[in-house]
C-alpha cells in the first residue's frame, strides 16, 4: 500500500525539518509556512488538516520524487506482486505516475498497479499509469441493487454497462471490484444483515468481469458500519458464518477453473424487472458460462432464449452450485422452478465444476 502523498509527523525527514528548520535538507520536502513548526493548528500543509500527516511536495520537488521512486524500486525488487496507491489523485502529476509505472514494470512487468480512485478513473487508465482503479462505481451499484433494493434490474444493468463503457476491454478485465472496503460500511451491514442479499452480491461479483476483491472477514460474514466499526478484529474465536465461507470457497474454485469467468466478455441474456430476473453470459473463445438470478420473492420457471449466444441444441448444462442438469432445446434453456432469491451458474455438463 503506497502512501506517497504524505508522511507521518514522526518520519525522519519531517523530524529533521522540525529540528533544523530551513537548514534541513528536508525542509523543502514539505510546504512549511514558518519556523518553528507548529502543530496545533499546523503551520504546514497537512493531509485533510491532520497535523500528524504532513503532505509531501511530491508533485513539484524532484528530490522527493527521486526518493519515492527509489523506494518503489527497492520494494518491487523484493518480489511484491503489485501496488495499491493511496489517494494518487492528490499527487496531481501525470508525469510522476508515468515514471512510477516505468519503474515498477521495468522490474516486474506483471506487477499489478491499482490506484485508489472513487470516481471516473480514465485519466489514469490510458496504459501509461495504472492498470486499474478501485472500482467504487461498481461497488455503489452492488449496494444500491443487492443490499438496499433501491434500483431495478434494468437500471443496474445499464449503470454497469455505463461503467464498462468508460474503459477499454483490457482495463475492464482487471478492474479492482469490491463489495466494500476499509473506507466504507461492510456490505452485510449495508444489507441490514440479510445474508441472502450478501450471497447474491458475492455470486455476481465472482462471476462478473474484472478482479473480484474480498475485504477481510466478508468471507465469514463480518458486519460493521462505517469506520471504525468496519475495521473490527477478524473472528478468530470461531464466530463465523459457515454457509458464506462455503459459498466463497465454491465460487473461488469455480472461477479459478473457468476461463470465461476469469477473462470472458459480458453479455446480458435476459432481464425482467417485475419478476426480478437477470441472466447474463460470460464468453472466452469456446468456453461459456450463463448465470441466472431470480431475485424475486417466489420460485418461478425461467426460459432463456440462447439463439444468439452460441449454445447448440442438445447441449447439457449443469448448475455449478446446485448441480441441476438441463438440456438446451430449440435454442432455449428452461429452468422448471428457479428458487426465490437464488442464483444458478450453468456450465457445460462435461466442464469442471466447483467442488463441494
Question: Where in the sequence numbering do the catalytic residues fall?
Answer: 86, 116
Q: Within 88-152, where are the H helices?
A: 94-107, 136-142
- Cα separation, 113 vs 104, in Å, equals 9
Q: Strands, E, within 64-218: which ranges?
A: 82-85, 112-115, 132-135, 176-178, 211-213
Q: Is 65 exposed, middle or buried (0-12, 13-18, 19+ CB in 10 A)?
A: buried
Cell numbers of 28, please? Answer: 523543502
Please give the biggest Cα pair distance in the chain: 82
Do 272 and 153 touch, CB atoms closer than 8 A? yes
Measured CA angle at 318 (ends 321, 355), to 5 deg: 40
Amino acid at each position: 500500500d503506497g502512501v506517497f502523498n504524505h508522511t507521518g509527523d514522526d518520519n525522519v525527514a519531517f523530524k529533521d525539518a522540525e529540528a533544523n528548520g530551513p537548514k534541513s535538507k528536508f525542509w523543502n520536502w514539505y510546504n512549511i509556512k514558518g519556523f518553528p513548526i507548529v502543530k496545533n493548528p499546523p503551520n504546514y500543509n497537512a493531509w485533510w488538516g491532520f497535523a500528524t500527516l504532513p503532505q509531501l511536495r511530491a508533485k513539484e520537488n524532484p528530490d522527493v520524487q527521486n526518493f519515492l521512486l527509489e523506494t518503489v524500486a527497492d520494494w518491487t525488487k523484493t518480489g511484491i506482486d503489485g501496488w495499491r496507491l493511496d489517494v494518487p489523485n492528490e499527487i496531481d502529476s501525470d508525469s510522476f505516475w508515468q515514471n512510477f509505472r516505468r519503474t515498477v514494470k521495468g522490474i516486474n512487468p506483471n506487477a499489478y498497479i491499482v490506484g485508489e480512485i472513487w470516481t471516473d478513473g480514465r485519466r489514469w487508465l490510458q496504459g501509461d499509469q495504472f492498470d486499474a482503479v478501485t472500482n467504487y462505481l461498481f461497488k455503489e451499484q452492488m449496494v444500491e441493487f443487492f443490499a438496499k433494493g433501491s434500483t431495478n434490474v434494468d437500471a443496474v444493468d445499464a449503470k454497469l454497462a455505463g461503467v464498462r463503457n468508460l474503459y477499454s476491454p483490457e482495463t475492464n478485465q482487471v478492474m479492482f471490484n469490491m463489495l466494500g472496503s476499509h473506507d466504507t460500511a461492510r456490505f452485510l451491514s449495508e444489507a441490514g444483515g440479510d445474508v441472502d442479499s450478501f450471497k447474491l452480491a458475492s455470486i455476481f461479483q465472482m462471476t462478473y468481469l474484472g478482479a473480484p476483491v474480498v475485504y477481510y472477514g466478508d468471507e465469514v460474514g463480518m458486519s460493521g458500519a462505517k469506520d471504525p466499526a468496519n475495521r473490527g478484529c477478524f473472528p478468530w474465536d470461531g464466530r463465523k458464518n459457515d454457509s458464506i465461507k462455503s459459498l466463497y470457497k465454491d465460487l473461488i474454485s469455480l472461477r479459478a477453473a473457468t476461463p470465461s469467468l476469469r477473462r470472458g466478455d459480458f453479455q446480458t441474456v435476459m432481464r425482467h424487472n417485475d419478476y426480478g430476473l437477470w441472466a447474463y453470459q460470460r464468453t472466452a473463445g469456446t468456453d461459456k458460462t450463463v448465470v441466472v438470478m431470480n431475485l424475486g420473492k417466489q420460485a418461478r420457471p425461467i426460459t432463456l432464449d440462447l439463439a444468439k449466444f452460441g449454445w447448440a441444441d442438445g447441449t447439457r448444462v449443469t448448475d455449478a452450485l446446485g448441480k441441476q442438469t438441463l438440456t438446451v432445446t430449440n435454442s432455449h434453456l428452461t429452468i422448471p422452478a428457479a428458487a426465490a432469491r437464488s442464483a444458478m451458474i450453468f456450465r457445460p455438463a462435461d466442464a469442471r465444476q466447483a467442488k463441494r
